[in-house]
Chain A
């Protein structure tokens, strides 16, 4: 706070000197508001609160009401909360959830962190593989990716076939329907997010600290451990928190991978009821989400406590800032090999399985007999997809608008949070709430709200846009907070001293420095929106349909080879858009 006060004082002192006459009371008040970030804080907090609070209120209300047979709210009750905690295997499910979420978050952080560090800070070869991997993973629909991994690691999948051959075993060596299977697949799914969030952190590291360590006699490993990774701590913790919460709330991987072996987590029971019951048990799902909101709030408090002195992690100061590439010497090929391994596991394996499946009349494992049956039949008729131009355009416009609005909001809010400005703690708390709102609960809340308020946007693209912006807020915030945290406030103070107003400082100093983080965020949110299913399922009308919901229905009802072909065509299309975006100025990997 001292820093902001001093910069405000300096800015205030600089104003009259320039204008030559004392400013009016109104002007002074306005300047003071801007100088403290107060007005910006109020406006940003108000917008975020307006987006997030109504669904939260709905969540609270429905958690304390019974769900009636017609889906409306019934009598006041505590049964939903009792239901969440009364499961006979709550302790086991809780333990499973904890192990699953923490191990997958740590693994995703390690793989994504390794990729980010190598891409941003080293001269290792094969960096482009990380870029391909990230774009492909984020372009591929979630369900398709999980099912592809299940086929790849399954009993008759290529990995087990290879292990059986190597170990001369007659039975499958790996059982993917296990806790390790859940952890690996969830971690692989979270790796692109981890990489994209960690890249800007490593990119913005100032090499002078590392050089100072090396000059003082530290080895490369010591420098990495004590300087590079330590400086990245706040950003890394934020990413870990985000991925952990996402994994606690995850349903697809536990239900597809763990359930066949009866490995139930906290979400399995609750979300299965939400999905299968007619009407869905929204009360119980809401109670569970309230429990997660409390958990997230506690974790955020812990996080802020850990980072009370975050200034010590700021590396981009007013002094010459030049991130440089670490020369790895002979180790570069070893590190490059690591990138090839992660690329093979995260991308090549599921992609290979899908390509193979898409070329068969029906799914079968690799064999010479299967080779003789290869066909392009599954791709025939897919050209008809182009018929639904409106649906494709809806998807692109919706995804681009969502990403743009969420990133702009996140840029300002991320700065407020990282600088500990007024409202920042509250802003940080409410910004994480959408993360624990199940898609269906958010959809119902939005439907209830907009069918009741006199704003005729139900069934239009506008309601989808608002819902997706809400859904994207936590991710956008984490990107920008991590980016701003490394920019030392002395840069802003210097701008203030030179007479720049706060909006001008934000636009001309902060924004360009966190641009890489914001562009990464944009691409991530664009692709995330394009593949979101549960929100459009409830909120789109006959004239506002998007591709993801249509694809999902095809996935549910189509045969595996047809689904694989369809998924690959859509993944390629989205990947082309992502690459075009990058060529137009975005950056999500090596340049």
Chain B
């Protein structure tokens, strides 16, 4: 039943794309484009792999090469702060998932307004203008469909507490996915008291922690090393399933979504090229490139395969401030209960 709904959604999205792309291309500011071209290059620090397609699209459109530096959010934050303090900023524009409020606090980022961000929902923009979300990563548990028959698959988050799942669950301990993401979802959707009650019970399930990426956890589930993974990215199971792998995402609501954000640096060596890049990222054209794997923040861009537009309203979206203010608490809960 679900696959029928998804097929319709994908077909509708494809039609929607054709109409939308033709009608909603925002015109570029010629002055900004000219200045950016004079600067000749843009230095982009980012942490999300699939974002590389964006740089290729930008260069193709404007002929401005993009020097890319991909690293985890932690390393990018450290680099940016130190470059700023030493008055030796290299990055013009950045895209990271954790650490933006830290950068704001350190003075590394400047407030900005983007023409293409005007149609974006306020919840995806910083009221003070230091960042705009560019995409959402939706997290869903996934299981090995060869090992678990359809009748035994959990339908709700509470089903994960059934005795049959003891010693069968796995997650990775860090970042915004895995254990931290799962704990955040429970505590923010159920409240601290009820959430902690749930997590105390989950502790009894002896969830296995393995310090590899959520993508590698998905591979371990496909291989049959583990049965059910928590806090995986929705597109990971989707991609493997399309190749015939025995993995299936579980729609255990609420679905958690975290965001990646774009920011512009103070003392940037190529400020106009950086701004033009950010405009491109939030343009419908740029957002379409993200929509192959992730939920774009623009409403005129279809959801990724496997999700429908209606999901947007039911997602439990964690804002960067939520992440920044509570990350330590969620990590503490993990350390106390599950390590």
Contacts and interface: CB of A to CB of B under 8 A. Distances in A.
Contacts of B67: 542-543
Interface in B216-252: 216, 219, 222-225, 239-240, 243-245
A405 interface: no
A256 interface: yes
A255 interface: yes
A500 to B, nearest CB: 49
Contacts of B243: 361-362
B85 interface: yes
B223 A278 contact: no
Contacts, number: 156
A273 B78 CA distance: 15
A557 B72 CA distance: 11
Contact of A448 (B68, B82, B180, B331): B82
Contacts of A558: 49, 215
Contact of A363 (B86, B102, B223): B223
A567 interface: no
A444 interface: yes
Contact of B173 (A259, A373, A538, A554): A259
A365 B213 CA distance: 21
A553 B48 CA distance: 9
A262 B212 CA distance: 15
Interface in B300-339: 327-328, 331, 335, 339
Given A363-B222, A452-B86, A559-B240, A69 B105 contact: yes
Contact of A260 (B86, B209, B222): B209
Contacts of A44: none
Interface string B95-118: 000110010011000000000000
B24 interface: no
Interface string A285-298: 00000000000000
B20 interface: no
B25 interface: no
A542 B69 contact: yes
Nearest to B336: A88
Interface stretch (A150-158, A197-205, A410-418): A150-158
Which has the most chain B C-beta neighbours within 10 Å: A71, A262, A554? Answer: A71
A244 B50 CA distance: 40
Interface in A533-560: 537-538, 540-543, 545, 549-550, 553-560
A166 to B, nearest CB: 20
Nearest to B86: A451
A279 interface: yes
A444 B339 CA distance: 28
Nearest to A251: B211
Interface string A275-288: 11111100000000
Contacts of B69: 540-542, 545
Nearest to B233: A557
B70 A553 contact: yes
B267 interface: no
B174 A451 contact: no
A110 interface: no
Interface in B34-69: 43, 49-50, 67-69
Contacts of B215: 556-559
A70 B208 CA distance: 32
Shortest beta-carbon contacts, A-B, top 8 = A451-B86, A542-B67, A276-B174, A70-B106, A362-B245, A255-B211, A560-B219, A557-B49
Given A269-B339, A459-B88, A537-B72, 10 more contacts: A259-B209, A276-B74, A276-B180, A278-B327, A279-B78, A364-B224, A365-B224, A549-B71, A557-B49, A558-B49
Interface of B: 43, 49-50, 67-75, 77-79, 81-83, 85-86, 88, 90, 98-99, 102, 105-106, 170, 173-175, 180, 208-213, 215-216, 219, 222-225, 239-240, 243-245, 327-328, 331, 335, 339
26 contacts: A71-B78, A71-B82, A72-B81, A72-B85, A155-B224, A255-B211, A256-B211, A259-B209, A259-B339, A277-B74, A278-B99, A279-B99, A361-B243, A362-B219, A362-B240, A362-B244, A444-B78, A447-B79, A448-B82, A451-B83, A451-B86, A451-B88, A545-B69, A549-B71, A556-B216, A560-B216
